[in-house]
């Protein structure tokens, strides 16, 4: 025998979230509160600039900071900055409170006079980049060269930092 189908009445009920206050009606306020809760509950640590890059790089100044490459070699560190359109007299490299500071300023003025018009343009810009130096840099032997718009700063390592690694043998106990 086949069992007879029986229909059970289903009652639908809409549930609404309980109201939590005055600003529930405003969608952006609700979103802001949710994002605030997300960051309050997030299990992460804040990274310091020294955690992110080898020299603890930070930049100061305008958004037009020059591109810089940092390279570690066996004998030295090299900082290379692209500074097109600048002369060595417009660049300053100095050590300040354990940091290498590279700064410069570009001033450009142009005037054209021709029949019926006069054109005058001026452009000014300054930058400043600072890099915290590693402890093993020999500060007395730092030198900088500027060739074809590229500044290269050589930061020689101290004699103790240049020693080769020592391999320690592991013995069974």
| Closest-CA residue to 100 (of 153, 50, 54, 52) | 153
Residue 41 host element (H or E): helix 27-41
Token representation of residue 105: 């300023």
- Mean pLDDT calculated for residue range 15-29: 57
pLDDT tens per residue, range 102-159: 999 888 888 888 888 888 888 778 888 888 888 888 889 999 999 988 999 999 988 7
Do 129 and 60 meet the contact criterion of CB atoms below 8 Å apart? yes
| Closest-CA residue to 137 (of 119, 160, 115) | 160
| Closest-CA residue to 77 (of 167, 161, 168) | 161
C-alpha to C-alpha distance for 152 and 29, rounded to whole angstroms? 51
Neighbours of 137 (CB within 10 A): 20
Do 68 and 61 meet the contact criterion of CB atoms below 8 Å apart? no
Neighbouring-strand partners of residue 111: 120
- Give the three-class secondary structure for 88: helix
Neighbours of 133 (CB within 10 A): 18
Q: What is the pLDDT of residue 53?
A: 42
Residue 59, pLDDT > 50, answer: no
Q: What is the pLDDT of residue 93?
A: 93
- Mean pLDDT calculated for residue range 9-26: 55
- Mean pLDDT calculated for residue range 55-62: 41
Domains belonging to the chain, first-starting first, are: 50-156 (2.60.40.790)
Of residues 23 and 158, the one with the higher pLDDT is: 158
């Amino acid at each position: 025998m086949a069992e007879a189908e029986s229909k059970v009445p289903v009652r639908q009920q809409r549930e609404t979230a309980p109201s939590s206050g005055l600003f529930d009606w405003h969608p952006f306020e609700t979103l802001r509160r949710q994002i605030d809760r997300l960051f309050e509950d997030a299990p992460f640590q804040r990274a310091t600039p020294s955690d992110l890059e080898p020299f603890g790089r930070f930049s100061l100044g305008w958004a037009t900071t020059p591109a810089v490459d940092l390279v570690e070699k066996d004998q030295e560190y090299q900082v290379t900055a692209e500074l097109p359109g600048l002369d060595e007299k417009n660049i300053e490299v100095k050590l300040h409170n354990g940091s290498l500071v590279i700064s410069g300023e570009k001033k450009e003025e142009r005037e054209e006079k021709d029949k019926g018009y006069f054109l005058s343009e001026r452009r000014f810009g300054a930058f400043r980049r600072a890099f915290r130096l590693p402890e093993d840099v020999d500060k007395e032997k730092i030198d900088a060269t500027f060739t074809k718009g590229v500044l290269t700063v050589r930061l020689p390592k101290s004699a103790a930092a240049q020693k080769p690694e020592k391999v320690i043998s592991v013995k069974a106990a």
